[in-house]
Structure 1
Amino acid sequence: MSGKILIVDDVATNRIVYKVKLGAACYAPILAADGESCLVMAQQTKPDLILLDLILPDMHGTEVLRRLRADPATAAIPVVVFSAEDDAASRLGALAAGADEYLRKSVDDQTLLARLRNLLREREAIAELESGGAPIRALGFAEPASGFQLPGTVALVTHRPETALLWRRDLAGQLSDKMVMLSREAALSDAALMPVPDVFVIEYELADPMGGLRLMSELRSRAETRHAAICIVKQSRGNGASAMAFDLGANDVVAATDDPREFGMRIKRLLQRKRAADTLRASVRNGLRLAVIDPLTGLFNRRYAVSQLAEIAAQSDVSGRPFAVMVVDLDRFKDVNDRFGHPAGDAVLTEVARRMAANIRHGDLLARIGGEEFLIALPETDLAMATPIAERICCAVHDAAFDIPGFAPLALTASIGLAIGEAKTGWSEQPVTAVIDRADQALLVAKSAGRNQVTISRTAA
């Protein structure tokens, strides 16, 4: 994994040693000797991660952290405090100031590099979500962030209930979130995971020396728990087990001997990051939906319909069977808006969409492509199959009146133009919009012939 890592240490020997180690691991090291240089270089070079010593000649590392987190340009850069100090006050101060991790300089290289890989993977995952959401935000589809958040759920997974009780006692004063105690079997049971926990805190030695890591792998392989944050709790630091946990997907590793306040801070940070990632995923998912869905009727929009029609045409080439395209237009719909108002017109459009959806087959495409105009595409369908479907849709519109509050039931009809796309090669060279155009021309004929009918295009594209 490549990446720029800014090494901040006032001792030149330390900078050179870690430059060599990180360079050998295919990272691109950048060096700074004091806090002010760190802040300037973080702004200018936008490193992927910062390795920060606490003791610097011009300012303390916690002050550097606070200033990094206060600057929008550097706030999201992961920071690993790398210090010779290992007292509780230093660790808590660094984490409170915004450090993503606190490691002693005596940590083995395997654990150090595994933690760096782990943090860089998390950063890349968030960056991908943000880049996916950028076009959505640019189009104005993103929903505003909610200022209210429901409490999260933290699952404490241990082999012995007394261990879970100890963890719950340590965390109770620091978290307002719900805590549940689970066995390994319950953690893998869909029925027991309601709601799905935001964070799993898992005992490393869960019934056997590798039980916690195996459970973590199981949780990562399941769709329901794939995005949950996972914290592995070991009996002590060191021995290389942390490196394995990080490389297998743990979001954090703590020691059972750690200060309970640090335990709480780390779980709280995992909850915050999980919520932020969930919000990003939801924003992208909802934004993509809004980009292809007509918000009034819930049908697909024209942009999506044309792209899907190209897929249907390509499928037709493979199967050798034709496909059908209908353009449906509500007759004299402008009169509805003029007489009853646009809210009534919107209600009619929504009901028409529902009736049409009820009269097509699973796998058919239904989209709203204009004000009162709809498109229906029927894969692998010839004229003999398509005609009764079109006539059924026509009947579905005019057979039942539309209820408009405060007025008498409204009778409405629809005209439909139907065209068949024959199987052939080269749809990409001859756009499928030509089939839509033929259906549209047939629709005009239906309109001029008295409306409330289906007209078939007899001309091949």
Structure 2
Amino acid sequence: MSARVLVVDDVLPNVKLLAAKLTREYFDVITAYNGPEALELVRKESPDIVLLDVMMPGMDGFEVCEKIRSDPDTMHIPVVMVTALSDVADRVRGLEAGADDFLTKPVNDIALFARVRSLVRLKMMMDEWRMRESTSGQFGVIERSGTLRNESFERARVLVLEDSLLDLEKITETLKRDHDHVMSANTCAKALERALSDDLDLVVISLTLMNEDGLRLCSQLRSHERTRQVPILLVVDEGDLNRVAKGLELGANDYVIKPLDRNELLARARTQVRRKRYQERLRANYEHSLSMALTDSLTGVFNRRYVNAHLPRLLERAIDSHKPVAILLFDIDHFKVVNDSFGHTVGDEVLKEVSNRASRNLRTFDLVARLGGEEFVVILPDTDVEAAMTVAERLRNQIANSMFKVSADIGEVPVTVSIGVAVGGRLGDSSEGLIRRADEALYEAKRSGRNCVIADPRSDFQGVTAPAPAP
């Protein structure tokens, strides 16, 4: 896996050494020698990861990290502090400033490459979700999610795998400072069962189990859809870097070294919970944006954009399978009179009820959409003209034969629709042509006195059809 790495250190030999190691592993390396220069390169070059020295004159690494994390455009870039400092308090300070990890000089190559690759994979995933959110924002559908640092880390659901009662007590007591739901298991099987039955925010896995390999659980969690995105924090013995590297390769997100420091454990756990919740917010925003982009906000049915994307694929499948696809194009008769007489609020109530009646009693794979104004379409796969006419006539009756209750003083109003039917599925048919033919039939229905159904004369397609929906 290649990536662009920014190496920041005020000592030239340190920069050259790290750059040489990374270049041999085919990373693209850029360098900076002080904090302001690093921040400028972060904004201009958008590196995939920053390896940041702590002890620099002027602006130290802690301040640089805080500035990276406070900028919404750069907050997602992983930062690893590379330092001669080995005090736990310094590590905690760096983690609280937003660093993803600490590497102590002289840097161990196994730890360096494992951490860089793990964090770059994470950034690539986050970049994809951020890009989708940004695209949705350009359409004015949603607002951006804010910063990762603003996410809450409290009240998470945490599972701990540890078979040492002493270590388990220390871990759970520490995590309970932030979280109400800290569960435990002493075997991989019990932990996996618990993880698959619960919605977890973090899993803490000890790699010092007496009779089992915690990496096995790490692999199993990443192989199940339900737990694939749950952060994993490993607990390891000092010096066990080979297993740390293997764990990161399997998908673990971070690790903490024994003997455990409570503040460091809390800081690393908070980072993982925040990141998970930020990612969930990005995903939820994207899914919400899709829903908003493809559905009509008033009636809740699909909109024209969805029809334009869906109908060509449906018609292509119909042509390949020699099965017809029918559309019913209809609009509300004299809808302007409803708006002018009773106001747009009543008009909206009528539109909602029309869409509700159109949606009832259709098959699960049929589709209703509002094209705009008072115009709707029903798409019926595997339906010939005879079955389509049956559905259209039933829809016309459902609307015309029962008054519409409204909030105006009148209490209820009569509503009718005119419907044009067209069926396609022949080689050469297009979605635009099919809609145009239905529109011509709809126009003919209006000329024939409205409140009626007219089929396009070219809709005599015969083929294998699914039964029309029951009345």
Q: Out of 333, 336, 340, which is 1:334 matched to?
A: 336
Whether the 8 Å contact between 1:157 and 1:182 is mirrored in structure 2 is yes
Out of 436-445 and 136-145, give the one that drifted further.
136-145
Q: Is the 8 A contact 2:195 2:227 kept in 1?
A: no
1:420 matched to 2:432: no
The one-letter amino acid paired with 1:354 is N
**Counterparts in 2 of 1:21-40, with a 5 A limit?**
21-40=21-40
Query: Which residue of the partner structure matches residue 167 of structure 1?
Result: 171
Check 1:347–1:221 CA distance in 2 against 1; reply closer, same or farther (3 A cut). farther
Residues 280-318 of structure 1 show CA distances to partners (whole Å, capped at 9, x for unaligned) of: 001111101111111111111112112211111101111
Structure-2 change in CA distance of 1:452 and 1:148 (3 Å): farther
Aligned partner of 2:448: which letter?
A: A
Normalised to the residue count of structure 1, the TM-score between the two structures is: 0.91
Aligned position for 2:414? 411
After superposition, give the CA deviation of every residue in 1:321-365 in whole Å (9 maximum; x if it has no partner).
222111011112222222332222222222221221113222122
Task: Return 5+ residue gaps in structure 1 as ranges.
Answer: none
Aligned partner of 1:241 in structure 2 is 243
Distance of aligned partners of 1:253 and 1:7 in 2 relative to their CA distance in 1, 3 Å threshold? same
Cα distance change, pair 422–90 in 1 and its aligned pair in 2 (3 A): closer
What residue in structure 1 maps to residue 9 of structure 2?
Answer: 9
2:463 aligned partner: none
Q: Deviations over 1:105-149 (max 9, x none)?
A: 245312210110111111111111011112210111115759996
Aligned AA (1:151): R
Q: Which moved more, 1:365-374 or 1:64-73?
A: 64-73
Which residue of the other structure, out of 157, 162, 184, is the alignment partner of 2:161? 157
1:45 and 2:48 aligned: no
Number of equivalent positions: 454
1:56, distance to aligned residue in structure 2 (A): 2.4
Q: Secondary structure of the equivalent of 2:227?
A: coil
Question: Which residue type is aligned with residue 37 of structure 2?
Answer: S
Which range is displaced more, 160-169 or 78-87?
160-169
| Compared CA separation, residues 337 and 177, structure 1 to 2 (3 A) | farther
Deviation per CA, 1:6-61: give whole Å up to 9, x if none. Answer: 21223333222211110011111122333343233334333221111222244432
Alignment of 1:38-77 (within 5 A): 38-77=38-77
Conserved 8 A contact 1:305-1:365: no
Question: CA–CA distance in 2 between the matches of 1:403 and 1:206?
Answer: 68
Q: Distance in 1 between matches of 2:425 and 2:54?
A: 72
**In 1, Cα distance between the equivalents of 2:297 and 2:255?**
45
Counterparts in 2 of 1:291 and 1:9: CA distance versus 1, 3 Å: same
**Cα distance per residue 1:388-413 (max 9 Å; x no partner):** 11111111112222212343332211
C-alpha distance in 2 between matches for 1:112 and 1:15: 14
Task: Find the counterpart in structure 1 of residue 207 from structure 2.
Answer: 204
Comparing 82-91 with 153-162, which one deviates more in the overlay?
A: 153-162
Q: Hey, what's the Cα distance between the residues in 1 that align with 2:266 and 2:284?
A: 27
Tell me how far apart the structure 1 counterparts of residues 234 and 341 of structure 2 sit (CA, whole Å).
66
Provide closer, same or farther for how the CA distance between residues 66 and 303 of structure 1 changes in structure 2, counting only shifts above 3 A: closer
Q: How does 1:280-319 map to 2 (within 5 A)?
A: 280-319=282-321
Equivalent residue for 1:19? 19
Is 1:458 the counterpart of 2:457? The answer is yes
Closer, same or farther: CA 157–351 of 1 in aligned 2, 3 Å: farther
Structure 1 segment 166-245 matched on structure 2, within 5 A: 166-173=170-177, 175-182=178-185, 184-189=188-193, 193-194=197-198, 196-206=199-209, 208-210=211-213, 212-245=214-247
Contact kept, 8 Å, 1:198 with 1:271, in 2: the verdict is: yes
Q: How far 1:205 sits from its partner (Å)?
A: 4.3
Structure 1 position 263, deviation (Å): 0.3
TM-score by length of 2: 0.89
Structure 2: 5+ residue stretches without partners: 461-471
AA at the equivalent of 2:60? H
Distance 1:239 1:139, change over 3 A: closer
- The CA deviation at 1:166 is 2.2
C-alpha distance in 1, partners of 2:338/2:239?
73
* Cα displacement string for residues 220-240 of structure 1 (whole angstroms, at most 9, x for unaligned residues): 222222221111112334341
Q: Distance in 2 between matches of 1:454 and 1:167?
A: 71
1:444 aligns with 2:443: yes
Does the 8 A contact of 2:162 with 2:185 survive in 1?
yes
Out of 370, 378, 381, the position equivalent to 1:379 is: 381
1:460/1:39 CA distance change after superposition, 3 Å:
same
Aligned residue number for residue 393 of structure 2: 391
Distance 2:226 2:34 in 1: 45
Measured in 1, the distance between the counterparts of 2:165 and 2:299 equals: 52
1:435 corresponds in structure 2 to 434
Give the aligned partner of residue 264 of structure 2: 262
